[in-house]
Amino acid sequence: MLKVEKRTILGYILAFWLVGVFISRLYVQIALAGVGNVAIAVQVMSVIWPVFYFVFSKHSLLMRGIDGITGGMLFLFVFTALISCFISPIPFFSVGYLLATFAGIYVAILFNEGCNKADIAFGFKLFSILTVILLVIYTKYDYRTFIGYRLGDGTRTMNPNSVGMIAMAAVVTAMMFKSFFVRAILFVPLFFDIYLTGSRAAALATLIALVIFSWQDFVRTSIIKKIAIVVPILIITIVIIFLKWESIYDGLNSFFLWDDRHRGFSSGGSGRTTVWGWVIELIKNNFIFGVGFRAHGEFIAASSAHNGYLALCAEIGVFGFSAIMVLIIRKLFLLFKIYRNSTDSLLALFFGVFVAFLALAMFERYLLNIGNPVSLIFLMILFMSKEKLINFVKGK
């Protein structure tokens, strides 16, 4: 019989680490207007504070559990990113963000090594509950007199897409609850918030993660249960589409806006394809070392590339970008292999979140980010060792 480790205090710390990034973001935007050295310090501290626990605990402060290839690729990323900082038109800003990003990766690795399976499962559950409570409060605050705005735009305190990503993180971590009733209670306000943000990328990424998570259970059910599930759903779907197609199309179009001239297909995805062209030219002209970590926005007539892959390549050059992509591709294949051969819900969640985040990064600002809970979960998964994942399959 497999020995299942008991939950430790790290489960609580993990939950408060993830939700703390959201809380600090709210505080910085509402109380400090998002500017100033204090605002930066608060956001950085929200990421690195768990280190103080590890300092005074029995856990090692060394980055153990990462293999030679992972260590080599991480070194290459940091090295090339550091060189890019000296090229950057905003060098102090670039160095600061690089240090903060590395600190986030470091904390993620410490959690990977310190947490057992029970810690992570509990941490995700607690994070989901706390985030739902906070989002309900924030929604009431932001949307009370600003009906017609996207959630976050009402009070100009949060980017709607960032709110959508936070809600996405809470949705996927809520899948750790086995009870369908509990999931439903958490899902209702979260899906409502994603709808209010109008964040199409977050909505699609959430659906990707949920499908991957649910598919594992579906394929392992008996043929009779599959038929009992699929046939009624298929019949009901066909009937509804046949009878209410125009209403369904209008409802979906009101959210995804594919016919909208400003945000639809004809606009190139709110002008994203045009911006992507600018960034590709930036990459061609700064192929080796890039233009500076977190500095690509200084060179284009837009706030960002709205594509994490292009942004990272433009900022640190092809070698640093390739190092991160090696880590991503290796982890993607490993997670898929484990997902295909395992029935473990946590591993299914890891694979779902990983794939969903990679899809999300096609339309968001950054591929490596520490300013959002789902980005921190992605970093945990990216730098989690093969041995740790196998131990999770064994229940440890």
pLDDT reported for residue 268 = 45
Angle at 95 between CA 90 and CA 96, to 5 degrees: 100
Burial 315-352 (b: 16+ CB within 10 A, else e): bbbbbbbbbbbbbbebbeebbeebbeebebbbbbbbbb
CA distance 247 to 245: 6
Cβ-count burial 264-280 (b if 16+ within 10 Å, e if not): eeebebbebeebbebbe
Determine the pLDDT at residue 99. Answer: 93
Return per-residue pLDDT of the chain as tens, 396 residues: 344 467 789 999 999 999 999 999 888 888 777 667 788 888 889 999 999 999 888 887 877 778 889 999 999 999 999 999 999 999 998 999 999 999 999 999 999 998 989 999 999 999 999 999 999 999 888 876 666 678 888 778 888 888 999 999 999 999 999 888 899 999 999 999 998 888 888 999 999 999 999 887 776 666 776 676 666 767 777 777 776 666 666 665 565 555 555 454 444 445 577 888 889 999 999 989 999 999 998 888 777 888 999 999 999 999 999 999 999 999 999 999 999 888 888 999 999 999 999 999 998 888 999 989 999 999 999 999 988 888 877 766
Strand partners, 147: 149
Alpha carbons 103 and 116: distance in angstroms, whole number: 21
pLDDT at 234: 73
Q: What SS3 string covers 49-91? A: CHHHHHHCCCCCCCCCCCCHHHHHHHHHHHHHHHHHHHHCCCH
Q: Would you say 277 and 270 are in contact if contact means Cβ atoms under 8 Å apart?
A: no
Q: Where are the alpha helices (DSSP H) in the chain?
A: 10-31, 37-48, 50-55, 68-87, 91-114, 117-143, 160-174, 180-197, 200-219, 223-256, 268-285, 308-341, 345-360, 373-382, 386-393
* Residue 155 confidence (pLDDT): 78
Residue from 354, 349, 306, 352 nearest 327 by CA: 354
Q: Token pair of 148, please?
A: 């017609």
List residues bridging with 395 in a β-sheet: none
